[in-house]
Amino acid sequence: MNCAEIQAALPALLYGDLPPGQAAALREHLASCPACREEETGLRQVTGLLNTMPAPVVQVNLTDIYQEASRRQLRRVRLWRRLAVSLSAAAAALLLVVGLRLELRVDAHQVVVRWGTSPELPQSDPVQPAPGLAAVNAEHAYLTQQLIHALADDVAARDRENQDSLGTLEARLEALQQQQQERWDATQRLVSTLYTLTTTSVAKRSEP
Amino acid sequence: MAQRDEDLIRRWQSGEACAFEELVRRWQQPMGRFLARLVGRLDLVPDLCQEVFLRLYQAGPRYREQGTFSNWLYRIALNVARDTGRRTRHAPVALSTHEVPANGISAEARCEQQEVAQTLTAALAELPSGLREVLVLRHYEDMNFEAMSRLLRTPASTLKSRFAVALQRLRTRLGHLDWHPEEKS
């Protein structure tokens, strides 16, 4: 191994990531090569510095976690509801267009909105309706109706799930608040006892 | 005998809220240290820690015992740190608020330690996130490259070379400090 290879392997040597044979070969090289030894010293100094970095002490607030989880859950429920309403509205509009055979046309001086079948013009040749058009429309209407039902079912199921999980969260929160109240009461009792004891001992000491 | 994390999470999944609280108690300090080193901003650590355990709480029901619980938690923490990194990329970097404990040393030595801690924090923060993650996981969390490879979904060989590059960059950046911890302590 040349010096470049040795120096590339130095981090692995410092952290004990090399197999024993390779580590021994590296150490042997280091004993006889000042340049690589200097590199190793530099890296050791860096790892020593890294060990001096102080660490904080943190305290996670469980009540905040339960409350925030509940808030986010509610936000998700609202989002899903809004999405479902929008989709239902779009599906209803589609159903209206297909069911009523709505036609919207912008001419040079007028806007034409027409629904139902087109009035037959007396002069023009009778236009034969395309075969199977009514059947296609009925099928579209049926599919849209099915889509709306499916969406409504999905929304109801999600609502039920979200209500269940909200219920669980609320119960947990309530239990936690009760625990905190009990702890607070106990602390107050303790403080009051300590106060009484202190006052008594001071009074005894001040007696002649 | 202390229960395994995986047992605690199973108990929590079956409805025991106290199991989740035990997991939080067990992991809050390691996560705080990990996030502080990864993000380099002590002022952000309490909020980040809170976010990690909130995400854990929300994702708990979906946990399946495929890897270790700690790996899963580290992945959540890494995602939280990465999100923060994206949000604060253009924000001004606050001065480190690392407080070095007095431990009976002189004011001058304490001042020097404080300066070293600040320089070190800044040097870590300057590393690209890919290098910093590997360095923190290997040096502070003592994670081997195989476990890290599963966590970061990156080949172990790539992670090894990233680690070497990170150490080399720190060496260049901190070379002027002339700091000998063994002599100071």
Contact assessment for residue B41 and residue A79, using Cβ atoms and an 8 Å cutoff:
no
Closest partner residue to A59 (CB to CB) among B17, B28, B113 is B28
* Interchain pair A54, B164: CB under 8 A: no
C-alpha distance from A67 to closest chain B C-alpha (Å): 10
* Interchain pair B174, A60: CB under 8 A: no
* Interchain pair A54, B144: CB under 8 A: no
Contact assessment for residue A115 and residue A103, using Cβ atoms and an 8 Å cutoff:
yes
**pLDDT value for A126:** 57
B31: contact with A, CB 8 A cutoff: yes
Closest partner residue to B177 (CB to CB) among A49, A64, A69 is A49
For residues B118 and B111, give the distance between their C-alpha atoms in angstroms, rounded to a whole number.
11
Contact assessment for residue B134 and residue B151, using Cβ atoms and an 8 Å cutoff:
no
* B102 pLDDT above the threshold of 60: no
For residue B51, what is the enclosing H or E element? helix B45-59
CA B2 from centre of chain: 24
pLDDT band for position B184 (cuts 50, 70, 90):
very low
C-alpha distance from A80 to closest chain B C-alpha (Å): 18
Contacts 24+ apart (CB under 8 A), A94-101: A94/A144, A95/A141, A95/A144, A95/A145, A95/A148, A98/A137, A98/A140, A98/A141, A98/A144, A99/A137, A99/A141, A101/A137
pLDDT band for position B175 (cuts 50, 70, 90):
confident
Token readout for B27 is 């992991």
Token readout for A161 is 């799930």
Residue of chain B whose Cα is closest to the Cα of A61: B50
* B159 pLDDT above the threshold of 90: yes
The residues on A that touch B, with CB distances below 8 Å, are 8, 10-12, 15, 17, 42-43, 45-62, 64-66, 68-69, 72, 172, 175
Lowest mean pLDDT among A112-121, B118-127, B133-142: A112-121
SS3 B91: coil
The percentage of chain A sitting over the pLDDT mark of 90, rounded to a whole number, equals: 28
* A116 pLDDT above the threshold of 60: yes
- A14, A46, A168: best mutation site toward chain B, by most B Cβ within 10 Å? A46
C-alpha distance from B33 to closest chain A C-alpha (Å): 5
Interface of B with A in 99-128 (CB under 8 A): 99-101, 113, 116-117, 120-121, 124
CA A28 from centre of chain: 53
Closest partner residue to B120 (CB to CB) among A49, A59, A69 is A49
* A122 pLDDT above the threshold of 90: no
> If we measure between CA atoms, which residue out of B153, B38, B53, B45 comes closest to residue B85?
B38
For residues A40 and A38, give the distance between their C-alpha atoms in angstroms, rounded to a whole number.
5
The interface pTM score, or ipTM, of the predicted complex is 0.78
**pLDDT value for B183:** 43
* B161 pLDDT above the threshold of 50: yes
Residues in chain A within 8 Å Cβ distance of B98: 53-54
Closest partner residue to A12 (CB to CB) among B113, B135, B160 is B160
B46: contact with A, CB 8 A cutoff: yes
**pLDDT value for A56:** 84
Closest partner residue to A58 (CB to CB) among B29, B37, B113 is B29
Contact assessment for residue B106 and residue B114, using Cβ atoms and an 8 Å cutoff:
no
**pLDDT value for B125:** 86
* B185 pLDDT above the threshold of 80: no
Beta-carbon neighbour count of residue B123 at 10 Å? 20
Which bin fits B15, alpha (ψ -120 to 50), beta or left (φ > 0)? left
Q: H-type helices in chain A, by residue range?
A: 3-14, 20-32, 34-51, 62-100, 133-206
For residues B51 and B33, give the distance between their C-alpha atoms in angstroms, rounded to a whole number.
15
Contacts 24+ apart (CB under 8 A), B61-68: B61/B13, B63/B9, B63/B13, B65/B6, B65/B10, B67/B150, B68/B5, B68/B6
**pLDDT value for B122:** 86
Residues in chain A within 8 Å Cβ distance of B113: 52
> If we measure between CA atoms, which residue out of B120, B22, B13, B9 comes closest to residue B71?
B9
Segment A87-95 shows an average pLDDT of 87
CB pairs under 8 A between A and B: 104
Contact assessment for residue A63 and residue A170, using Cβ atoms and an 8 Å cutoff:
no
Compute the half-sphere exposure of residue B69: CA atoms within 13 Å on the CB side of its CA: 16
The predicted-structure confidence for A18-62, as pLDDT tens digits, reads as follows 899 989 999 999 999 999 999 999 999 999 888 888 788 889 999
For residue A111, what is the enclosing H or E element? strand A111-114
Question: When comparing pLDDT for A123 and B57, which is higher?
Answer: B57
The predicted-structure confidence for B17-73, as pLDDT tens digits, reads as follows 889 999 999 999 999 999 999 988 888 899 999 999 999 999 888 887 677 889 899
Neighbouring residues of B116: CB distance < 8 A, sequence distance ≥ 6? A49, A52, B177, B179
pTM for the complete prediction?
0.66
CA B80 from centre of chain: 11
Question: A50 φ, ψ to 5°?
Answer: -60, -35
